[in-house]
Amino acid sequence: MKRAIQCVALLCMLAAPAHAQRIASVDLTKPQEPTQSVGKQNKSSLPDGCEKLSGGGVADGVVTPQDHQRRQIVVEILKVSKDKAREGAQLQAEVELRNNGKQAIRIPWSNDPGTIKTGQHPDNLQWEEGWFQFMLRAPRGHDVLLKSLSQSLYGSHFSAGSQLTIQPGEWITATLKFKLEAMYLYQLGEFEGNSQLMVEWDQTKRSWAVRDCSVWNGYFQYTYEQRSPGITVQITENNSTNKKPESK
């Protein structure tokens, strides 16, 4: 009987995920100077025969896995610098991105924007970009995107080490900064009270190419099956925004 119990315990251990661990972490709160210029091309770097570059076109869509199964991830806030803050405050948070599915996922993993040019012809670039986006579910029941103060991550199969594979059960953590201020227009005082703070992961496959002196851009969005548990934060109105000028 004892031997049978030991065998059952061993089978349970073998059935457990072999890669259930944190595999990497990154701090995205500090600006990173690109190792290569990623700004607009000047005249001396224009392709042969081109006096200037004009707009060519934009292609967009979604990235579909070969098996047509959306990859499952969980993105959640582990801790935040303050759970009580005024509107407009800058906060820092540690977040976790976990592969919650059965297939491996691959994300960009370099905070150097110059990665997008490494090993490629400057007139034909392909890369991936990923970033974390905070949002607030206000008491009135709708989600508000918040202003990010964090870097993006970049990756390319032309640049060794710039992409990270996360096996099922594995996760990474990131340190981020954001501002308790809406990215778009909102009503003053909308955040006041207890709200749910959440974070999501966005990832795109990008391309930039010059053909016949015209620039062509490609944007293709990854569509993860994503779960983002929220945490409760208490937000007070920023009185400085409502101060009336003193009468003379």
Residue 224 pLDDT class (50, 70, 90 cuts): very high
pTM for this prediction: 0.83
Query: Residues 110-130: what's their mean pLDDT?
Result: 94
Which pLDDT does position 70 carry in this prediction?
95
Is the pLDDT at 245 greater than 60, yes or no?
no
Q: How far is CA 215 from CA 132, 205, 207, in A?
A: 28, 17, 10
Residue 237 pLDDT class (50, 70, 90 cuts): confident
Which pLDDT does position 49 carry in this prediction?
81
Residue 39 pLDDT class (50, 70, 90 cuts): very low
Query: Residues 207-214: what's their mean pLDDT?
Result: 92
Q: For residues 50 and 52, what is the distance between their CA atoms, to the nearest angstrom?
A: 5
Q: For residues 17 and 86, what is the distance between their CA atoms, to the nearest angstrom?
A: 42
- Residue 171 corresponds to which tokens in the numbers above? 């996760």
- Fold classification of 18-31+53-239 (topology level): Immunoglobulin-like (2.60.40)
